[in-house]
Chain A
Amino acid sequence: MTSMSEMTYRDALNLALKEEMRRDPSVVLWGEDVALYEGSFKVTRGLLAEFGEERVRDTPISENTIVGVAVGAAMGGLRPVAELMTVNFALLAMDQIINHMAKIRYMFGGQTYLPMVVRMPGGGGSQLAAQHSQSLESYFMHCPGLHIAYPSTPADAKGLLKSAIRDNNPVIFLEHELLYNSKGEVPDDPDFLVPFGRANVVRTGTDVTIVAYARMSILALQAAAELEKEGISCEVIDLRTLCPLDTETFIASARRTGRAVVVEECWRTAGLGGDIAHRIHEACFDSLLAPVRRVAGLDVPMPYSRKIEKICIPQAETIADAVREVVSRKS
């Protein structure tokens, strides 16, 4: 039996950072307010005290340079972990992320590699309005050259972040702001890693496959529990990493259940769910009993008022409705 401790998603991330910094002196960390202030979401609490000013550094409010300095440091033999205060501000760093971080290894003929992580909290649901509530995972996923992780549980948060830091590829590490306080059992083993590219079947079922990630997996599980009462058996797949994407797991599942719902928090148009739904259609066409349904964020800028913000983000009920519709369809 592996020993476990209960902790929050935030503390699991914090522990992952601490363990990896203890393990490897080439791991360095910087971002806006990460040192003295201990992070705007307190993920970096205690790091400055333990590792000192050389390794835990506050930066100017210069997002593109926060990422670019990490690119250079990674090329120079370090394993930087850069924090962008939220994913929304990553848009100011898109030049370094897309044009540099994702391209350098390729355009230089494989002569270098970038063992670096860019962490960023994101997602909506906190009444922060249009500029602070975005889900931009599809933006990153569109671009080859990046690994992308987006954990849903404290255990995955720890195991995926540790894998990200040890990965020799550049990693976009997304964290959901509404999950920071969620609790769960986390293995104590300092070498506990969650490998990239392996989805987690978080609930097995026979009638329908729900493909989700991050907070959407949590909502999908809530929907599945509700649907069980109605006699609908859902299999819920948490992707864990968006790149590499574990297509095999969700395709095998959809082939078995014959029905699938894909849930994404980002905008529907050109969102990652369209790609996943298409992959299922292509691979499982003969086994499908209904077209794959998508549940996605509404194609609107996020409004502030909580009454109308709610309808812009997938909820457990909207996921359940989509499942009911897919299941009710006669083959």
Chain B
Amino acid sequence: METRLRAALPDQELLKLYEQMVLSREFEESCAEQYTKGHITGFLHLYSGQEAVAVGATAGLHKDDYILSAYREHAQAIVRGADPRRVMAELFGKSTGICKGKGGSMHLFDPDLNFMGGYAIVGGQFPIAVGLAFAAKYRQEDRIAACFFGDGAVNQGNFHESLNWARLWELPVLFICENNFYGIGTEVHRSSALASIHKRTCGYDIPSEKVDGMDVIAVYKAIKHAAEKVRETSHPYFIEAVTYRFRGHSMADPAKYRSAAEHEIWKSRDPIPALGKELVAEGITSSDHLAEIRDKCLVVVQEAVKFAEESPWPEDSEVYNDIYV
């Protein structure tokens, strides 16, 4: 009897990973629908396909660890514990949103969850993660900073400056590259001289690994191990999670630069049914129960939409609040 899952985590935890991936997927699919209806406006970058990375990584971190991400960050926030209703309200631009409707899809933030933000300048989060790690170390807090970013971000000056700095100052930063092979429409081979991204850290003496980002257990194990190393040594570590986004870069992108065949191959590796199948095969649960989990998530998402729809718009006077303390 194959017991790969049970060797990694208790049954309840495994089911939680499954549920978090399903919730993330359903949340994103619902966002797409609400965008089409005109309820969500602006840029909307969906995470469908990449769920194993956010879910596996978050499970491998401590609750006190900081998490920072880019603009494709709904799942990272929700998996960390952000209320889906307040996230949806944020996307609707409502006053009940997680950032009062001032940030939108790309700028989720919840300091109570140590979720330190979605950043929409590619690579902008790198030095901020380094600074949070410095503060944690200086204050002798037992936490690390986990910094998510895409394959496109590794060609920013910020990336190189921050890797160098984190290693030089021996700061507890876990860099997590979500390599989904594209920065908007530019494939990695057309933007990076060395397309094997994790190898780029050797110039900064930072250990790195590549992991299958479509396998939530593999991501969980790699991040858990890496996070322990970072905690133990207070040195940075780098994980490249190889993954794929099932949708275009944003809702405005029909993704014409990718072949249908390529898309199909990755679709067949969808991390959610893959885990579901393994859960059933190991006798951890039944397919009926998996269907129940999905129904439960659909209800959560429906409630989030309802909450967002019924929430009030921000007052006009709100524009002047929160610029200064």
Which A residues have a C-beta under 8 Å from some C-beta of B?
Answer: 28, 54, 57, 59-60, 62, 64-65, 67-78, 80, 95-96, 99-100, 104-113, 144-145, 147, 168-169
A54 CB contacts on chain B under 8 angstroms: 138
Q: How far is the CA of A106 from the CA of B119 in the complex (A)?
A: 13
Q: From B127, which residue of chain A is reached at the shortest CB distance? A: A68
Shortest Cβ gap from A110 to chain B (Å):
3
B131/A71 in contact, CB under 8 A: yes
Closest 4 CB pairs of A and B: A72-B131, A68-B127, A76-B135, A110-B322
B121/A109 in contact, CB under 8 A: no
B208 CB contacts on chain A under 8 angstroms: none
A109/B127 in contact, CB under 8 A: no
A60, A77, A111: the one contacting B168 at CB < 8 Å is A60
Q: From A145, which residue of chain B is reached at the shortest CB distance? A: B323
A64, A78, A95, A110: the one contacting B135 at CB < 8 Å is A78
B130/A65 in contact, CB under 8 A: yes
A95/B124 in contact, CB under 8 A: yes
Shortest Cβ gap from A109 to chain B (Å):
3
Shortest Cβ gap from A289 to chain B (Å):
35
CB-contacts of B152-179 with A (<8 A)? 157-158, 161-162, 164-165, 168-169
CB of B325 closer than 8 Å to a CB of A: yes
Q: How far is the CA of A249 from the CA of B225 in the complex (A)?
A: 61
A62, A71, A109, A110: the one contacting B97 at CB < 8 Å is A109
A112-B131 CB under 8 A given contacts A60-B161, A147-B324? no
A75-B116 CB under 8 A given contacts A106-B102, A112-B109? yes
A105/B168 in contact, CB under 8 A: no
A108-B130 CB under 8 A given contacts A77-B135, A78-B138? no
Which B residues have a C-beta under 8 Å from some C-beta of A?
Answer: 66, 97-103, 107, 109-111, 116-117, 119, 121, 124, 126-136, 138-139, 145, 157-158, 161-162, 164-165, 168-169, 321-325
A74 CB contacts on chain B under 8 angstroms: 131
B127/A69 in contact, CB under 8 A: yes
B98, B100, B128, B169: the one contacting A100 at CB < 8 Å is B128
B134 CB contacts on chain A under 8 angstroms: 69, 72-73, 76, 78
Shortest Cβ gap from A54 to chain B (Å):
7
Shortest Cβ gap from A239 to chain B (Å):
18
B130 CB contacts on chain A under 8 angstroms: 65, 68-69, 72
Q: How far is the CA of A105 from the CA of B102 in the complex (A)?
A: 10
B135/A99 in contact, CB under 8 A: no
Q: Give 29 A-B contacts (CB < 8 Å), ordered by A residue.
A: A54-B138, A57-B169, A60-B161, A60-B164, A64-B157, A68-B126, A68-B127, A69-B134, A71-B127, A73-B131, A74-B131, A75-B131, A76-B139, A77-B139, A78-B135, A78-B138, A96-B124, A107-B109, A108-B103, A108-B109, A109-B97, A109-B101, A110-B322, A111-B109, A111-B111, A112-B109, A112-B111, A169-B324, A169-B325
A104/B323 in contact, CB under 8 A: no
B165 CB contacts on chain A under 8 angstroms: 59-60, 62, 65, 69
Shortest Cβ gap from B321 to chain A (Å):
6
Q: How far is the CA of A218 from the CA of B5 in the complex (A)?
A: 73
Shortest Cβ gap from A55 to chain B (Å):
8
How many A-B contacts if CB must be within 8 Å? 132
Q: From A147, which residue of chain B is reached at the shortest CB distance? A: B324
Q: How far is the CA of A65 from the CA of B83 in the complex (A)?
A: 32
Shortest Cβ gap from A101 to chain B (Å):
10
Q: From B110, which residue of chain A is reached at the shortest CB distance? A: A111
A111/B131 in contact, CB under 8 A: no
B321 CB contacts on chain A under 8 angstroms: 110
B100, B119, B145, B164: the one contacting A110 at CB < 8 Å is B100
B324 CB contacts on chain A under 8 angstroms: 105, 145, 147, 169
Shortest Cβ gap from A193 to chain B (Å):
16
A106-B129 CB under 8 A given contacts A59-B165, A65-B165? no
B325/A109 in contact, CB under 8 A: no
B102 CB contacts on chain A under 8 angstroms: 106-109
Q: How far is the CA of A144 from the CA of B157 in the complex (A)?
A: 26
Q: From B325, which residue of chain A is reached at the shortest CB distance? A: A168
A109/B100 in contact, CB under 8 A: yes
Q: From B158, which residue of chain A is reached at the shortest CB distance? A: A64
Q: Chain A CB within 10 Å — which of B116, B117, B139, B324 has the most?
A: B324
Q: Chain A CB within 10 Å — which of B66, B131, B138, B145 has the most?
A: B131
B109/A71 in contact, CB under 8 A: no
B322 CB contacts on chain A under 8 angstroms: 105-106, 109-110
Shortest Cβ gap from A49 to chain B (Å):
19
Shortest Cβ gap from A112 to chain B (Å):
6
A71-B128 CB under 8 A given contacts A109-B97, A109-B103, A113-B325? yes
A72/B129 in contact, CB under 8 A: yes
Q: From A68, which residue of chain B is reached at the shortest CB distance? A: B127
Shortest Cβ gap from B270 to chain A (Å):
33
Q: How far is the CA of A73 from the CA of B133 in the complex (A)?
A: 8
A107 CB contacts on chain B under 8 angstroms: 99, 102-103, 107, 109
A72/B135 in contact, CB under 8 A: yes
A64 CB contacts on chain B under 8 angstroms: 127, 157-158, 161
Q: How far is the CA of A255 from the CA of B298 in the complex (A)?
A: 65
A110 CB contacts on chain B under 8 angstroms: 100, 321-322
B157 CB contacts on chain A under 8 angstroms: 64
B128 CB contacts on chain A under 8 angstroms: 68-69, 71-72, 75, 100
Q: How far is the CA of A111 from the CA of B110 in the complex (A)?
A: 7
A108-B117 CB under 8 A given contacts A59-B165, A64-B161, A113-B325? yes
A99 CB contacts on chain B under 8 angstroms: 121, 124
